[in-house]
Structure 1
Amino acid sequence: MTKVSLKFFCYLLFLFLFAKQPVFSQSGPSTSFENPEVAQNYVMEIWNNSKGLPQNAVFAMEMDNFGYLWTATEEGLARFDGKILTVFDQDRNPEMLEQTYYNFFKTAEGIWAAGDRSIALLNKNIKTVIDCSEITDNALIRAIAENGNGGLLIGNQKGQIFSLDNGTFTALPFWNPDVPLEIFGFYQLKTSILLVGTSKGIYELNQQTSQVKLVTRKDFSALKIFGNSNRIYVYADDEGIFQLDEDYRLENIHSFKQSNMIYPPSLIVDSENSIWASSIESGLIKLTDGNTTQVYYPELQTYTVRKIIKEKENLYLGTLGKGFAIVKPAKIKQLNREVLKEKNIKPIYQTSDSSIWIGTKSDGIYRLKNGKINSWKDSDGLLQNRVNTIGSANRKVYVGSIAGVSIIDQQKGQIIGYLTKENGLQSNYVYAIFRDSKNWLWILTRAGGIHYIDEKGSFHQVELPERYSRTSFISIMELDNKQVLIGSVNEGFFRFENEQLIENQSLPLPMSENLIYSMYEDDAGDLWFATHGGIVLYQRGEFKILKKQNGLKSRSVFSIIADDKSGIWTTNNFGVQYFPNSELEKFKNNTEKDFFIGNNYYDDSHGMPNSETNGLIFPSALKDYSGEIWIPTVEGVGIIQSSSLKDEESKDFLFTWDYVQVGGQKIDIENEIVIPKGERIFQVTFSLIDIESPDRYSFFYRISKTSEEWHPINENRLLNFTGLKPGNYTLQVKVLTHGKIEQIYSLPIQVKATLFESLAFKILVLIAIGILFYFIVKYYYTIRMKRKLESMVNQRTAELSNANGKLKKALSEIERKNKVLIDITWHQSHLVRAPLTKAMGISQLLSQNIDFQEIDLSKDELEQELLKTLEQLDQIVRNTHSMSENIKNNEN
């Protein structure tokens, strides 16, 4: 047999040993509709394996220091914040040494969960797990307490107590009972003093003085020591429940006959000193001032309750096979009438004698008067069992249906007449009946039917323009100025003074949404219309629409009822919403399209028979003479008993950052998040702990450096981040309650950079890139310059080569010309020399005064000869010039 099976067998044996016949001093078992403790005044939520609990048998249950509700099951631990169950098992949390823990022990550090061979500290998450194999050999852990030195005291089934300090177990040296005993539990009195409940009495253990003393008789079997800050109680086997005073005197306050059906491990005491326990047979037992009351919840049937926690007005019940249940006081009550239970309720109306008349969809009409209930159906003469509207005048009750109006004598309770098309109605389909301040009874129907019976009893039909001959009129009210306002389908509202139509205004809605179910006039005289397309405000001739995106729970709004001039209650397909006047004024004055109106919202989780209320009836909700508001739903009547609902505080919650999951590890969030180097994908979770009203919150987030825009958060309260660059960020989560900002919570996030992402590395890279760029540029310009120089050299070389060729050619030409010139010069020099010599000789002769007879020529002849010689020389020069000109012309 496995340890789990053995423990389950021992548990059944334990139940059998305590299963004796019950005796109750006050009352026997009560149903939820007979006992004021648990009647229609409570709602119950059940959390089982279909909602996330690992397994439906709850071994232990406790709240940690953060406010989380922890449960222990055979398949692991579960943590609950009011909305989400988080499972801790060996698959998700490999640090756990075992899957199943059987007992919880609350300490200042948190909850110590005890299993077969280990203990685990629970406080928001699993803080630590300790292997206890050396002290749990065939001995279950029965008690854990702090030892005052930062360690623990652990008591086991064998009666041993060990001190755990710095990971080392040591048998407590001064714990030496003189008889064999079994330890049942510890009860901490002070930091250094605790009580040890055993099978052989109660011992006081003083850790400061290292002393132990027996404070009761040895044959006293203290199965359970429990209490609160005011009182300490002890449950003793076969003796009952005792109160333990400061001097350790025992006073029996509940005899064994009064408490013999109690399952001892479930015993608790609440803040009002009432003792709660589980009954071995079924239900709970409440012991108050010597009186015993059995409390039975039909939802739990015969499932045994193992653990009870009482916090304020809430009960938390851990069961065997049903999971855990939360029992809360109902904020919206249900009508305590079995005959109307789960019926589809239509109009509700109150007559002048304070009687409440309730119409149904298919079961006729009922009257509640002086605690009695009567009904009328078609078998009693009612035209039809489907009731659309109810009104009254002159001690007569008018019941409208799709077959006409049935008239009931209010005093005699008899059907005394009918109004149909045969009597003048425009249509037998009657939508609304209403009595105004003049005692006129208005009757609205299909096919353009507006009728009234005046104060004298005369029947009239209001004449309307032909265009309204097929209009359906479905709602009506009287304004403060005594004008009558009538709402229609598709044609807006009609304003009448006496029976004269003075105004018709169509609403700015699509045809499918243009239905006015209900109307309301505020203190400023502005009109509010409940329609199929939201709430429409008519102010100074202008319309403004409040829609789902502005805070409405549903597109359709069936009724608007003022509550003592402090706000309005509205009904819709999903429950009831309350809007304070301050928020309505904000809506009036706000021009933003994304305006969100603050409101409180209630549904079946707050006590309504069903969240779906009824519309297209009149009246679609009722505020009675005492101020209570009656809400018709598809499964019964909900009653808002007090205006205190609208003033409830929304601050009773705890926001906490939970854990960050990065690199396959879950890390508890303390003050900030540090994302290791190289990690770019991580998840951040948070919790908002409010078991009372977990559905009233909405969440938005943003993270600095990326966006200033707020993003909505889904219900799992988990944020995924991918690809954040290294650096410092601030994660902000905004909490809204019914649209109002409660708080903005911030969490620093540091994303570590790898070596390659560090600033120094980036600077080095930039420097290297700069140097590389410098050399690349330098190399580029060197190559470019080299190529340019080469090109220039080549070009210059080509130019020089060309010039050299030309030069050579020129030189050759010069040489040729020089040769020609030399030839010419040589030739001409020979031609010129002879006449020039001759001329020079003649000139010398003429210059000398010689005797011309000696040379056989006269002076004149010499002069003539000189002249001829010079002319000959001139001709030679001319010929030379002509030759040079010929050379030039040849070159050209």
Structure 2
Amino acid sequence: MTLEVFAKIFAEEEVPLQKFKATGDYVLQFWDNTNGLPQNAVYAMGKDKTGFFWIATEEGLARLDGTTIKVFDKGSYPIMLDQTYYTFFHGKSGIWASSDRSIALLEKTILKVIDCEHIVEDSWIKAISEDANGYLWIGTQDGKVHLWKNDQFNQLPNWKMEVGTETQSLFHMGNGVMLIGTNRGLFAYNYQNNTYSLLTERNVNASKVLVESGRIYIAIPDKGLFRLEEDKKLIELISFEKVKDINFNSLTKDANNNVWAGSTENGIIKINAVGTERYYFDEIKNYTVRKIIYDGENLYLGTHGRGLVIVKPARVRQANHPEILETNVKAVFQDANSNKWVGTKSNGIFRIKDGEISNINTSDGLLLNWINTIGEDAENIYTGTTAGVSVISKNTSKVIGRITEEEGLKSNYVYAVYEDSKERLWILTRYGGLHYRPKNGKLKLIQLPDQFRNTNFNTIKELSNGDILVGSMNYGAFRIVDGVFQENIVLPLKPGENVIYSIHEDLGGDLWFGTHGGIVLYSQGKFNRITKEHGLNSTSVFSITHDGKSGIWISNNFGVQYIPDSELERFKTTGKDNFQATTVTYNKSHGMPNSETNGLIFPSAFKDDEGKIWIPTVEGVGIIDPLNVDWKENSANFQWDEILFADKKMALKETEIIIPAGNSNFQLSFANIDFYNPAEFALSYKIEQLNQEWIPIKDQRTLSFNGLKPGNHTLLVRVLRNGKMDGIHRLDISIKSFFFETLWFKILVISLFIVLVYFVIRYTAKVKIASSLEQLVNQRTLELSTTNHRLKEALEEIESQNVTLKDITWQQSHLVRAPLTKALGLIHLLINYPKYKEVGKSKEELEREILKALEELDGIVRNTHSKSEKFVKDK
């Protein structure tokens, strides 16, 4: 009955857990002090409600989103009172993390810290728990229990323990009852009536308490796991004596009610009804596992010395055959009967048929164990090597022949063997060796221009129109129509890049060449190229395989890269300018045997009947199942995190933030939480008001902005999953400005400037007018001065002239008057001469006197005229 009850309570789910049994079925991801963890000893760990994974270490708390770790310590978060936290408890508000003397609430960030200094005194915190009302209970090493309620501490009433009692665990049963595990037994405390009772014998060390369906289970150090009966009896379920390497402190229960424990020596232990089951991981065999969490998909192991180890199901599987594990695999092939053929570098060729594997090598008649290429026809398999082609019968799996230079090959160095739709067998070699053999016919050599007689041909593809396209080294591609050379397509590549590894034809008839210089598109007679700067992981592209669903899978030196058809179409329309391909990479961290895949072989990848893509690597075969890729929309757990400005950190709780004035330089952090395959997501961002193009976000989870102007800005982060839109996340940013940065201030400044300009112009105009007036006045003054001088001279002249005129006038009035009067009088006397008898002179004498008076008058007139002419001349 004991085993039956245990089996019912701790029922296991075998199917999902078996994924960790075979080496090729899982991958290990390590987080330690080399990639973000502050220290390698893990004390506690757990996921909060937002989805972040928290780890407690000796040097602080760490938060993982699946891609990056963020450290919370006293240096970066002064709210913390302690550096080291030892215990986590999942409550309604988040994770309660306890140190020796404080408790922190974790939910996306550190929400608050409770100072417990005055309740521990010479003790320390040992256990924490939360009741149904959300109140926090704290057990200390001195045996006391405290209640944190309404921001106040209250000691548990009537709880009196003898000296030496330690509170080790707390568990709320409901209905106001709390289990208190101590080193002196397990107690049930009713905090509605403040009474308690001992449920076990006095000396039972109830270090851990588990409750399921009303039954109580107690883990006792160094003894085992027990079920508590109503009569205080302990029924042993698992004896730790039988599992001596168990780390008791790691004992936990997962969501599926499996009981787990870490080993002090090797791996982890799953405890079930019939005993124990171990999971070994060579990478951590020397490290103690302290904490375990299993979420139904991943195993999270907190270790002492190795940090956090996440055991994940492999996204890329491996061929589950030890014979080809860790083997340098070359050409891979699936024949018409769905058998898989795996060529190797040194072990010959393997055939996988109905799950069974067999090997054919030089001891069986192969020319060489280094297999460059694999092909077929209806009856045989052909393996090309540097010594020619070996022919293997499909029916007997025996080597039945060879094709070498003796049979007509241009060279024994064979790069590719291929059968087209007309059942012609093509064999490509060095030194211009472009051969084909019709069905039931003889080997023929394609006639090429002389300049190609030494060309090495290494890949081949039959196009949708029946043309044969052959790739070469350094001489581009060759089109063969009906067995006749048609054209040479010269690729725009440098000599070192001009190696065609693979050829792909899309549904539109455009050609994509995998080369040593990236992917070259040949469309409508024009070339374009995708390189590393456009998103490829490597300069070399060894294979291009379409999944038949939504995109191509290319192999290179850094794994396998998925590119959606939508991205290829976008490249066709936009070209390489500003093009950044949205891709997904699968490498060793996803289960690839090695991230370095093999090239210069044929085929360098193939898609099997189930749609799975086989990729050869230097350490085995990686198998990708594109059909199992999750394509759900709006599945990303994107979270805005914090903003940092002026050395202040502030959690982003809303999608709108206000930044105080004077803080145009700031950092924004965010997270895209995913622990299963973060590589599926591609992020990019833009400021809606500033950028038209999306800017790719690589591995960083912070965005820095420098000199962003005050005002309203909209930050957009776009999340693509497997190349498809998952969602766009918006953050409205309002940057406040000082008064001198506001629009009103600018209007005021502009207005004042205009007024100032007006007054300056007016002042300048006045100055100019004044200057002009001054110049005019000066000019006028000068003119007046000159005029005055002239006037003075004129006055002097006038005065002189006046004198002259006066002289003339005087002469006229005096000198002229006398002779004129005399002449007039004498004339009057002559006229009236008869009347004047007493004149005393004769008429002749009178006439002579008149003549004399007139002559005198004439002299005066002449003299006046002479003076007048002189006056005019002087003027």
2:528–2:575 CA contact under 8 A, matched in 1:
no
Match of 1:284 in 2: 268
Alpha-carbon distance, 1:774 to partner = 6.3
Mapped to 2, the partners of 1:805 and 1:479 lie a distance apart of 113
Instruction: List aligned pairs for 1:829-848, cutoff 5 A.
Output: 829-842=813-826, 845=829
CA distance, structure 1, for counterparts of residue 234 and residue 553 of structure 2: 53
Superposed CA offset, 1:831-884 (max 9, x none): 223223323434554676962333245779767765664564355334322321
Tell me the equivalent position of 1:387.
371
Is residue 431–residue 617 contact of structure 1 (8 Å, CA) maintained in 2?
A: yes
8 Å Cα contact 1:305/1:319 also seen in 2 = yes
Matched, 1:810 2:808: no
SS in 2 for 1:838: helix
2:437 is the alignment partner of 1:447 = no
Residues 256, 296 of structure 2: 8 Å contact kept: no
Asked if the contact 2:226/2:234 (under 8 Å) is kept, the reply is yes
Alignment check: 8 A CA contact 1:601 1:738 kept: no
CA contact (8 A) 1:225 1:232 kept: no
Alignment of 1:687-766 (within 5 A): 687-703=671-687, 706-713=690-697, 715-754=699-738, 757=741
| CA–CA separation in structure 1 for the residues paired with 2:821 and 2:513 | 147
Q: CA 1:798/1:74 → structure 2, altered by over 3 Å: closer, same or farther?
A: same
In the other structure, the counterpart of 1:655 is 638
Distance 1:878 1:366 in 2: 158
> How does 1:58-207 map onto structure 2 within 5 Å?
58-146=42-130, 152-165=136-149, 167-173=151-157, 175=159, 181-188=165-172, 195-199=179-183
Q: Which moved more, 1:753-762 or 1:877-886?
A: 753-762
Write the deviation string for residues 416-459 of structure 1: whole angstroms up to 9, x where unpaired: 44332233221010111223455543322111223344543744
Decide whether the 8 Å contact of 1:227 with 1:268 is kept in 2: no
Match of 1:293 in 2: 277
Q: Secondary structure at the match of 1:66?
A: coil
Displacement after TM superposition at 1:355 (Å): 4.2
> C-alpha separation between the residues in 2 aligned to 1:871 and 1:705?
117
CA RMSD of aligned residues (A): 4.1
Matched residue SS, 1:873: helix
Contact 2:218 2:228 in 1 (8 A): no
**Distance apart, 1:809 and its partner CA:** 2.4
Corresponding residue of 2:6 = none
Aligned ranges 1:547-586 → 2 under 5 Å: 547-548=531-532, 551-564=535-548, 567-581=551-565, 584=568
- Counterpart contact for 1:475–1:618, Cα < 8 Å: yes
Checking the alignment, whether the CA contact within 8 Å between 2:32 and 2:39 is kept in structure 1 is yes
Number of positions where the alignment pairs a residue of Structure 1 with one of Structure 2 = 858
Structure 1 counterpart of 2:217, which letter?
Answer: V
Q: Distance in 2 between matches of 1:858 and 1:623?
A: 174
Note the C-alpha offset of 1:52. 2.2
Determine the C-alpha separation between the residues in 2 that align with 1:282 and 1:150: 39
State how far apart, in whole Å, the 2-side matches of 1:829 and 1:473 are.
143
| Unaligned stretches of 5+ residues in structure 2 | 1-16
> Residue in 1 aligned with 2:26?
42
- Identity among equivalent positions (%) equals 47
Once the two structures are superposed, residues 102-153 of structure 1 have per-residue CA deviations (whole angstroms, 9 ceiling, x without a partner) of 1222223222221122222222233333321112234331333446777532
Q: Deviations over 1:514-548 (max 9, x none)?
A: 43333345556555443334444556666555544
In structure 2, the residue corresponding to 1:799 is in which secondary structure?
Answer: helix
Question: Are 1:222 and 1:234, in contact at CA under 8 Å, matched by a contact in 2?
Answer: no
Q: For 1:485-564, list aligned pairs within 5 A.
A: 485-496=469-480, 499-501=483-485, 504-522=488-506, 527-537=511-521, 545-548=529-532, 551-564=535-548
Give the aligned partner of residue 255 of structure 2: 271
Structure 1 pair 770–145 and aligned structure 2 pair: CA distance change class (3 A): farther
Q: 1:871 to 1:345 in 2, by over 3 A?
A: same
Which among 325, 332, 341 is matched to residue 309 of structure 2? 325
Q: CA deviation at 1:803?
A: 2.8
Give the whole-Å Cα distance in 2 for the aligned partners of 1:650 and 1:303.
40
More moved, 492-501 vs 328-337: 492-501
The answer to which of 753-762 and 331-340 deviates more is 753-762
Question: Aligned with 2:406: secondary structure?
Answer: helix
Instruction: State the match for 1:670 in structure 2.
Output: 653
Cα pair distance change 1:711/1:881, threshold 3 Å? same
Match of 2:412 in 1: 428
Q: 1:243 to 1:835 in 2, by over 3 A?
A: farther
Q: Which moves more between the two structures, 296-305 or 847-856?
A: 847-856
Aligned match for 1:224, one of 208, 215, 222: 208
In the aligned structure 1, how far is the partner of 2:505 from the partner of 2:753?
A: 75
Q: Secondary structure at the match of 1:390?
A: strand
- Aligned-partner Cα distance in 2 for 1:336–1:183: 50
Change (3 A) 1:458 1:815: closer
Q: How does 1:637-652 map to 2 (within 5 A)?
A: 637-641=621-625, 643-645=627-629, 647-649=630-632, 651-652=634-635
The correspondence for 1:853, drawn from 803, 822, 837, is 837
Q: CA deviation at 1:188?
A: 5.0
Moved more, 587-596 or 148-157: 587-596
Query: Whole-Å Cα distance in 1 between the matches of residues 696 and 337 of structure 2?
Result: 52
Indicate conservation of the 8 Å contact 2:173/2:179, yes or no. Answer: yes
What secondary structure does 1:670 align onto?
coil
Name the CA shift for 1:708/1:419 in 2 (closer, same or farther; >3 Å).
closer
Q: 1:336 aligned to 300, 310, 320, which one?
A: 320
2-structure distance, mates of 1:772, 1:102: 70
Measure, in 1, the Cα distance between the counterparts of 2:419 and 2:35.
Answer: 50
* Alpha-carbon distance change, 884 to 351 in structure 1, aligned in 2, over 3 angstroms: closer
Cα distance in structure 1, aligned partners of 2:505 and 2:779: 101
Given that 1:144 and 1:154 are in contact with CA atoms closer than 8 Å, whether structure 2 keeps it comes out as yes
Stretches of structure 1 lacking an aligned partner (at least 5 in a row): 1-32
1: CA distance between counterparts of 2:417 and 2:649?
A: 64
- Aligned partners of 2:464, 2:282: CA distance in 1, in Å? 49
**What is the TM-score when the length of structure 1 is the normalising length?**
0.85
Residue 768 of structure 1, CA deviation = 6.3
Give the direction of change, closer, same or farther, for the CA distance of 1:310–1:847 in structure 2 (3 Å limit): farther
Q: Which residue of 1 aligns with 2:593?
A: 609
Distance 1:794 1:502 in 2: 99
- Pairs within 5 Å for 1:744-823: 744-754=728-738, 757=741, 787-823=771-807
On the 8 A contact 1:700/1:733 being kept in 2, the answer is: yes
Aligned equivalent of 1:629: 613
Question: What is the CA–CA distance in structure 1 between the aligned matches of 2:563 and 2:746, rounded to whole Å?
Answer: 57
Check the 8 A contact 1:254/1:290 in 2, yes or no: no
Q: Counterpart of 1:64 in structure 2: which amino acid?
A: D
Measured in 2, the distance between the counterparts of 1:711 and 1:567 equals 23
Q: Is the 8 A contact 1:240 1:259 kept in 2?
A: no
Partners in 2 of 1:450 and 1:544 — Cα distance?
A: 27
C-alpha distance in 2 between matches for 1:726 and 1:612: 49
Deviation at 1:625, TM superposition (A): 4.0
Deviations 1:598-622 (A, max 9, x none): 5443111111001121111112123
CA contact (8 A) 1:419 1:425 kept: yes
* Alpha-carbon offset, residue 632 of structure 1: 0.6
The answer to whether the 8 Å contact 1:224/1:264 transfers is no
Cα offsets for 1:788-813 (capped at 9, x unmatched): 55544444444333333333322222
CA contact (8 A) 1:703 1:732 kept: yes
TM-fit CA distance, 1:178:
9.4
Whether the aligned pair in 2 keeps the contact of 1:681 and 1:720 (CA below 8 Å) is: yes
